[in-house]
Amino acid sequence: MKTFFNLVQEVQKPGLCYRCGGCVTFCTAINYGALEIDQNGKPVYGDIEKCIECGLCYSICPEIKDLDEETKRNAAWSEPIGRVIETTVVRASDSLVRDCATDGGAVTALLLHLFDRNRIDGAIVARPVGRFQRQPFLATTREEIIESAGLFFDTSHGMKRFSDQYVTFSTIEEFGSVIKKGLSRVALVGTPCQIKSLRKMQVLNLIPSDAIKVCFGLFCSGNLTFGVKEQQKLADIAGIEWDDVSRINLRDQLMIILKTGEVKTIELDQIEEIKRYACHYCSDFSAEFADISFGGIGADEGWTTVITRTPLGRAILADARSRRSIEQYKIEDNAEFASSALQKVRRASAAKKKKARYKRRSLQVKSVQVKV
């Protein structure tokens, strides 16, 4: 039976850990507490003597191939980008939500819709805790859901900065709060690796994955490192001062929106070197195991491309449309908006898969040297 020690050897040592938090989430949830997340977001031993070597943390890691076939069967996954029931382009109907969110606020609008309809008790999201940092957070009110919308910069420096990782999305370590509060109907907004880790937990019926009733997956080109050097590099490329920045957005380009309203763009190829190392080896762009996947690619500015992947996801979107929580892009403006958006997502997905295959060909896994 392989254990967390093997995860360190096979995943962390070569730099392939996505820091999704799945291994720590499960271990903490069942009150073993052998693992913890350090201040840089990396899973580590908290108390090695508590480890019972069950091997479940190893199995649910998205980088490990165990349970892949079962996970794909449960999700009715198919080539090339997972199950696709419907593709459309939408935005929040509420202009206040659109103003504080990114890409039209579709994710926030659907979370609010589910909350107002009493379909969920909360949502695992990410909220700003500093200028370049977001923190995983369990939102249990409308106000908290709205507070976590978008990629706005927080110009105050009163909160602790946990690391130089620009955490765009939530991490599933917030499952601990779900258990403590006794919630049983929670939405998860996460990256492809986080969604896949959860789905593997659900294959095994592991606590607390049963509390997650819906998964909103976000298109992901990779997470960025925002250390001092990386900040300066981006500033030089874009020709900006960070004090002049209002917010950022990541679509098919990195968009830096200044307080004046001017938008500076940086091609993704220009920022490959500041992408988190493990992200270079990830092949999932479109959150292929989510109930609904979201992103700006394929949509006009202020709109969101949405892919429903499960009957639950389709029902949520249909209900939100019928109750006018969201509005759909007008077919009169572009009759091919949906098919065009899907084609662009497929191209972006194919490009990410190709890069991941290329990187993995030259990857050599190094064993951990244990001193006797």
pTM of the model: 0.87
In a domain, 268, yes or no: no
- Tens-place pLDDT, residues 77-125: 999 999 999 999 999 999 999 988 888 999 999 999 999 999 999 999 8
DSSP 262: -
Residue partners of 329: CB distance under 8 A and separation at least 6: 88, 89, 90, 91, 299, 300, 303, 337
In a domain, 132, yes or no: yes
Domain residues for the domain of 346 are 4-223+275-361
Per-residue pLDDT, 31: 66
In a domain, 369, yes or no: no
In a domain, 231, yes or no: no
Rounded CA-CA distance 280/358 in Å is 10
Considering only 27-36, 110-119, 348-357, which range has the smallest mean pLDDT?
27-36
Rounded CA-CA distance 212/137 in Å is 14
In a domain, 60, yes or no: yes
Per-residue pLDDT, 166: 35
Considering only 74-88, 292-306, 310-324, 352-366, which range has the smallest mean pLDDT?
352-366
In a domain, 265, yes or no: no
Once rounded to an integer, what is the mean pLDDT over residues 116-137? 82
Once rounded to an integer, what is the mean pLDDT over residues 245-256? 82
In a domain, 270, yes or no: no
Per-residue pLDDT, 290: 98
Total number of domains in the chain? 1
Q: Is the pLDDT of residue 348 over 80?
A: yes
Contact (CB, 8 A) for 350 and 343: no
Per-residue pLDDT, 161: 29
Q: Is the pLDDT of residue 271 over 80?
A: yes
In a domain, 129, yes or no: yes
Q: Is the pLDDT of residue 370 over 60?
A: no
Structure confidence at residue 314 as a pLDDT band (50, 70, 90): very high
Per-residue pLDDT, 366: 47
